[in-house]
Amino acid sequence: MALSKKPVNGMKDILPAEMEIRDYVTSVIKDTYRSFGFTPIETPCMENIANLSSKQGGENEKLIFKVLKRGEKLNLETAKEEADVVDFGMRYDLTVPLSRFYSNNANNLPTPFKALQIGSVWRADRPQRGRYRQFTQCDIDILGEPSNLAEIELITATTTTIGRLGFKNFEIRINERRILKAMAAYSGFTEDQYDSVFITLDKMDKIGVDGVAEELEKDGYAKESIDKYLGLFKLLEDKKDVAEGVAFLADTLGEYLDPEVVNNMKEIAAAVNATKAAEFTLVFDPTLVRGMSYYTGTIFEIAMPELGAACGGGGRYDKMIGKFTGNDVPACGFSIGFERIILLLMENGFKIPESPKKVAYLVEKGYPADKLVEVMKQAKEARENGQQVLVVRMNKNKKFQKEQLNKEGYEEFVEFFNR
- Residue 165, helix vs strand vs coil: coil
Q: Binding residue per annotation — 93?
A: yes
Among the listed residues 115, 61, 106, the one whose alpha carbon sits nearest the alpha carbon of residue 294: 61
CB of 218 to a second copy, least distance (A): 31
Stretch that binds a second copy, among 146-154, 183-191, 214-222, 235-243 (CB under 8 A): 146-154
**Contact track, a second copy, 96-135, x by CB under 8 A:** ----xx-xxx--xxxxx-x-----x-x-x---------x-
Q: What is the sign of the dihedral through the CA atoms of 68, 74, 80 and 84?
A: negative
- Examine residue 211 and tell whether it contacts a second copy (CB under 8 A): no
- Examine residue 93 and tell whether it contacts a second copy (CB under 8 A): no
- Examine residue 4 and tell whether it contacts a second copy (CB under 8 A): yes
CB of 140 to a second copy, least distance (A): 13
Tell me whether residue 157 or residue 310 sits nearer to a second copy (CB atom).
157
Number of chain positions touching a second copy (CB under 8 A): 110
Tell me whether residue 197 or residue 362 sits nearer to a second copy (CB atom).
362
Tell me whether residue 33 or residue 198 sits nearer to a second copy (CB atom).
33
Binder among 28, 235, 247, 379 for a second copy (CB under 8 A): 379
Binder among 25, 57, 60, 88 for a second copy (CB under 8 A): 88
Tell me whether residue 281 or residue 387 sits nearer to a second copy (CB atom).
387
Give the footprint of a second copy on residues 282-311 (CB under 8 A).
none
For 351, counting Cβ atoms within 10 Å of its Cβ (0-12 exposed, 13-18 middle, 19+ buried), the class is exposed
- Examine residue 3 and tell whether it contacts a second copy (CB under 8 A): yes
Rounded CA-CA distance 209/199 in Å is 14
Binder among 2, 129, 192, 419 for a second copy (CB under 8 A): 2
Q: Binding residue per annotation — 290?
A: yes
Q: Binding residue per annotation — 256?
A: no
- Containing H/E element for 66? strand 66-68
C-alpha dihedral over 142, 145, 147, 153, to 10 degrees?
-30
Q: Binding residue per annotation — 141?
A: yes
Tell me whether residue 307 or residue 382 sits nearer to a second copy (CB atom).
382
- Examine residue 243 and tell whether it contacts a second copy (CB under 8 A): no
Per the CB < 8 A criterion, the answer to whether 389 and 378 are in contact is no
Tell me whether residue 71 or residue 308 sits nearer to a second copy (CB atom).
71
- Examine residue 411 and tell whether it contacts a second copy (CB under 8 A): no
- Examine residue 275 and tell whether it contacts a second copy (CB under 8 A): yes
- Examine residue 328 and tell whether it contacts a second copy (CB under 8 A): no
Q: Binding residue per annotation — 388?
A: no
- Examine residue 70 and tell whether it contacts a second copy (CB under 8 A): yes
- Examine residue 325 and tell whether it contacts a second copy (CB under 8 A): yes
Binder among 243, 271, 307, 414 for a second copy (CB under 8 A): 271
User: What are the strands, taking DSSP E only, across 107-232?
Assistant: 113-122, 134-143, 170-176
Give the footprint of a second copy on residues 148-187 (CB under 8 A).
149, 152-153, 156, 160
Per the CB < 8 A criterion, the answer to whether 147 and 263 are in contact is no
Give the Å distances, CA to CA, from 272 to 52, 101, 154, 250, 322.
35, 29, 10, 21, 29
Among the listed residues 271, 268, 246, 254, the one whose alpha carbon sits nearest the alpha carbon of residue 179: 246
Per the CB < 8 A criterion, the answer to whether 68 and 78 are in contact is no
- Examine residue 50 and tell whether it contacts a second copy (CB under 8 A): yes
Length of the chain equals 419
Give the Å distances, CA to CA, from 115 to 28, 105, 145, 277, 332.
16, 12, 12, 21, 11
Phi, psi of 341, rounded to the nearest 5 degrees = -65, -45
- Containing H/E element for 315? strand 310-316
Rounded CA-CA distance 173/177 in Å is 13
Q: Which residues are annotated as a binding site?
A: 93-95, 123, 137, 141, 290, 294-295
Binding-site residues for L-histidine, please? Answer: 93-95, 123, 137, 141, 290, 294-295
